[in-house]
Amino acid sequence: MSTTTTPPAEEQQTDLGGIVRAYLAKVRGGDVGSLPAVLGLVALVIVFSILRPDTFTTELNFANLIGQSAAVMVLAMGLIFVLLLGEIDLSAGFTGGACAAVLGLTLTEHDWPLIPALIAGILTGTVIGFFIGTLVARVGIPSFVVTLALFLALQGVMLQIIGDGGTIGIRNDFIIKLNNGSMPIWLGWLLAAITIVGYAGGRLLTMRGRRARGLVAEPMLLWALKSAGFAIIIVAVVGYLSRERSPNPALKSLKGVPNVVVIILVLVVVLGYLLSRTSWGKHVYAVGGNAEAARRSGINVPWVKISCFMACSTIAALAGFLAASRTNSVSPNTGGSDTLLLAVGAAVIGGTSLFGGKGRITDAVIGGLVVAVIRNGIILLDQPSSVYYMVTGAVLLLAASVDAISRRRATASGRA
């Protein structure tokens, strides 16, 4: 800032070259967003397709991939709320497991109707989140200690509910279909159309609105490019999923978009809206960026923190339901083993920062796909789980390094 410079008008690139240049400048400045994850995903898909062309690229495997990744993706969405604060919830996996156990218990053993059982399961998550949030925000215990304690305690609770070595079978058709069944072909296409129109239309309306009031808006060309790219991806995915993928079609036909996609889509839209368009969402980013500034602006910082932990655990409950649906049962290990770390990994790989203040819901989807592709590919390569764990650990570390380094660059170039 100097006294002599005249203001450059809000400058903007409207031609193709300009758009590309602006984007490259942004990336070089450290604002990489989901770019590493997308590139990584593409690279992984190419590598596995070359190594296992006969199994990895099949329609069946593609649909399986979505089912396998769904629980981790949804858990990662929940974790993003906590990560945005710069906190962590290590117990989220078992929170999901415990909520699934409550669902199984009420549904299977006490014969509750579906809706009350679902509500009981989800509320269990909300209460756990409130408990964690209160200990972190009001009592002031570091979140990793609180959630590490709950990680152990909830494991105990699940053993108590389910019994050592036991399982609770899930027989409710709705729950089983959640993460196993597929929707009719026509419904898949209808969903695709709604998604594309919603995306392109929403952006167009925003752009128009801003133009009308004399504000700088996204160039028309950029909008067209983004919308077209989005539409192509959606159509390709839905087209591929609409093909017959049953190994034995005569016996049982298997085609259509998996049901779980609807859940993921709804969560992305609703949670994304919460974070970007509501005052609560702004406050979450503010608390994660500079809690003291948020406090001085009159934001109720403890409440924002508590509500984020509540959001995380509530969404974790949904993830637990999806995991239970996938296996048709709840065991003491549902949501356990590597689930939580995979979800944290998914969020970080997708571009959410471990340092707080930066992240979007879509990060969970992209990162979740990367994690699922790695697992799926390594299994198809007939590698032992030792290799799988080592590779996943390395990828998680790599993502965290990218996060730390891009944050440093961003601080240096002022784009944090």
Site for another protein, rule CB under 8 A: 1-3, 5-8, 10-11, 209-210, 213-216, 277-280, 282-283, 285-286, 288-290, 292-299, 357-358, 410-411, 413-416
Nearest distance from C-beta of residue 226 to another protein, angstroms:
18
Can you list the pairs that 197-206 forms with residues at least 24 positions away whose Cβ atoms lie under 8 Å? 198/269, 199/227, 199/230, 200/227, 200/230, 200/231, 203/227
For residues 10 and 54, which CB has a smaller minimum distance to another protein in the complex? Answer: 10
Annotate 107-154 with three-state secondary structure: HHHCCCCHHHHHHHHHHHHHHHHHHHHHHHHHHCCCHHHHHHHHHHHH
In 179-259, where does DSSP find H-type helix?
185-212, 220-241
Token pair of 392 as six digits? 């996943």
- Please name which of 56, 124, 54, 125 lies closest in space to residue 92, comparing C-alpha atoms: 125
Nearest distance from C-beta of residue 213 to another protein, angstroms:
5
Distance, CA of 210 to CA of 218 (rounded, Å): 9
For residues 59 and 218, which CB has a smaller minimum distance to another protein in the complex? Answer: 218
Nearest distance from C-beta of residue 411 to another protein, angstroms:
7
Nearest distance from C-beta of residue 317 to another protein, angstroms:
23
Query: Cβ neighbours of residue 190 under 8 Å, at least 6 residues apart?
Result: none
For residues 171 and 408, which CB has a smaller minimum distance to another protein in the complex? Answer: 408
Indicate the length of the chain as a whole number. 416
Nearest distance from C-beta of residue 11 to another protein, angstroms:
7
Nearest distance from C-beta of residue 26 to another protein, angstroms:
11
Nearest distance from C-beta of residue 78 to another protein, angstroms:
20
For residues 1 and 251, which CB has a smaller minimum distance to another protein in the complex? Answer: 1
Nearest distance from C-beta of residue 73 to another protein, angstroms:
24
For residues 154 and 286, which CB has a smaller minimum distance to another protein in the complex? Answer: 286
User: What sign results for the dihedral spanned by CA atoms 202, 203, 209, 212?
Assistant: negative
Across-strand partners of 329? 169
Tell me the HSE value of 164 on the side-chain side, using a 13 A CA sphere. Answer: 0
DSSP conformational letter for 330: E
For residues 358 and 375, which CB has a smaller minimum distance to another protein in the complex? Answer: 358
For residues 120 and 284, which CB has a smaller minimum distance to another protein in the complex? Answer: 284
Nearest distance from C-beta of residue 283 to another protein, angstroms:
7
CB 72 within 8 A of CB 339: yes
Nearest distance from C-beta of residue 280 to another protein, angstroms:
7
For residues 12 and 385, which CB has a smaller minimum distance to another protein in the complex? Answer: 12
Query: Cβ neighbours of residue 86 under 8 Å, at least 6 residues apart?
Result: 288, 354, 355, 356, 357
For residues 8 and 165, which CB has a smaller minimum distance to another protein in the complex? Answer: 8
How many H-runs (helices) and E-runs (strands) does the chain carry? 16, 2
Across-strand partners of 182? 258
Distance, CA of 344 to CA of 80 (rounded, Å): 8
